[in-house]
Amino acid sequence: MTEQVLACIDGSGHAAAVCDWAGWASQRLDAPLTFVHVLDKEPGPVQGDLSGSIGLGSQEHLLAELAELDAKRGKLAREQGRLMLEAAQQRALESGIEQAETLQRHGALVDTLVDLESSTRLLVLGRHGEASASAHAHLGSHVEQVIRALHRPILVTLGEFRAPQKVMLAFDGSATTRKGVEMLAGSPLFRGLELHLVLAGADTDDNRAQLEWAQQLLEQAGITAVTAIVPGEADKALTAYQQEQGMDLMIMGAYGHSRIRQWLVGSTTTTMIRDAQVPLLILR
């Protein structure tokens, strides 16, 4: 099965950036592009005993009207989703994408994306959903769930799209980030861009050796990388480096500790996704 770039579209103001980032990635990876819109399961007829407030004679008629209203609401939601998918498809074609498919599904977003995971090379979704009016609002309720559930690279977008020129990888020597370096070395996604390998921590021989390994691996693949060690707490130090150096995109591994620890005290990954001022590519 051909692996695709999968882009989640909803009615939020961030959908345009999702479209544009997905189109950019599709072209760089030479991978098919599919836009997906997921509808929550349609509600059934309203249940309950309303006779005490509206009278027995009115209850049956009211429930029938409510059921009809639910059906109309579901039909409108499907039509709205179809129009959004068509708009995303047209936007991609106008940007130079040769072919873009659309897919509308019913059910829970996370479950749907898990079902599509085997054919997904890269997932693109906005940091905020339809309920968010601001690009700096709280983290969308589904984003962290999706990142925990899937084991594919996930590009979390925000703001307006701008083709990246400078990219940084938050490197800590863990198995996830070492795998990320190997992925970057073998992928055309960031080929030709300015790449920075940044390690937050002490300037030790071990940390320097970790960065040298990563730099050599990338250079063997024809990718020139700048390395840096920045002191301080990881989330603050990495964010500061991104802002000072004008990075357009950050790459980092997801959730390096146990799941139980994540739910109790959070993680650097969650903090970075919540506070970052540029899109993030999350590696699993």
End residue of a domain, out of 147, 163, 179:
163
22 CB-side CA count, 13 A: 34
pLDDT above 80 (res 248): yes
- Domain contains 284: no
Our count of domains for the chain comes to: 2
Q: Tell whether 117 and 7 lie within a shared domain.
A: yes
What CATH number does residue 232 fall under?
3.40.50.620
Residue 134 maps to a domain:
yes
Residues 39 and 110 in one domain: yes
Structure tokens at 262: 């994540």
User: How far from 168 is each of 10, 96, 225, 247, 260, CA to CA, in Å?
Assistant: 28, 27, 9, 7, 29
- Residue 227's H or E segment, with its range, is strand 225-230
> Does residue 132 belong to any structural domain of this protein?
yes
Comparing 77-81, 130-134, 161-165, 225-229, the range with the smallest average pLDDT is 130-134
In a domain, 204, yes or no: yes
| Section 91-119 average pLDDT | 93
Task: Examine the domain organization and report whether 126 and 17 are in the same domain.
Answer: yes
Asked if residue 127 and residue 43 are part of one domain, the reply reads yes
Cα Rg, the chain, nearest whole Å: 22
Residue 11 resides in a domain: yes
Give the helix/strand (H/E) hosting 280.
Answer: strand 280-283
- Residue 31 token pair: 């991978």
For residues 169 and 228, membership in a common domain is answered with: yes
d(CA 59, CA 137): 42
Q: Give the domain range for residue 63.
A: 1-163
259 in any annotated domain: yes
Judge if 201 and 142 occupy the same domain.
Answer: no
Give the lowest-confidence range in 20-29, 203-212, 272-281.
272-281
Q: Is the pLDDT of residue 183 over 50?
A: yes
Query: For the chain, percent helix, then strand, then coil, each to nearest 5?
Result: 45, 20, 35
Residue 28 sits in the same domain as residue 146: yes
Joined together, the tokens standing for residue 250 give 């950050």
Over range 16-35, report the average pLDDT.
Answer: 96
Last residue of a domain, one of 145, 163, 181: 163
- 248 within some domain: yes
Indicate if 227 and 267 belong to the same structural domain: yes
Q: How confident is the model at residue 41 (pLDDT cuts 50, 70, 90)?
A: low
* Collapsed DSSP state (helix, strand, coil) of residue 57: helix
Last residue of a domain, one of 114, 147, 163: 163
Q: Mean of the pLDDT values across residues 148-152?
A: 89
Higher pLDDT, 233 or 153: 153
Residue pLDDT, tens place only, 216-241: 999 999 898 999 999 988 888 998 99
> Is there a domain that residue 79 lies in?
yes
pLDDT bin (cut points 50, 70, 90) of residue 14 is: confident
How many Cβ atoms are within 10 Å of 69's Cβ, its own excluded?
A: 12
Evaluated on CA atoms 104, 106, 109, 115, the torsion sign reads negative
**Are 106 and 149 contained in the same domain?**
yes
Residues 168 and 156 in one domain: no
- Residues 194 and 118 placed together within one structural domain of the fold: no
Residue among 135, 22, 4, 30 nearest 85 (CA): 22
* Tokens at 275, concatenated: 């506070």
Residues 142 and 224 in one domain: no
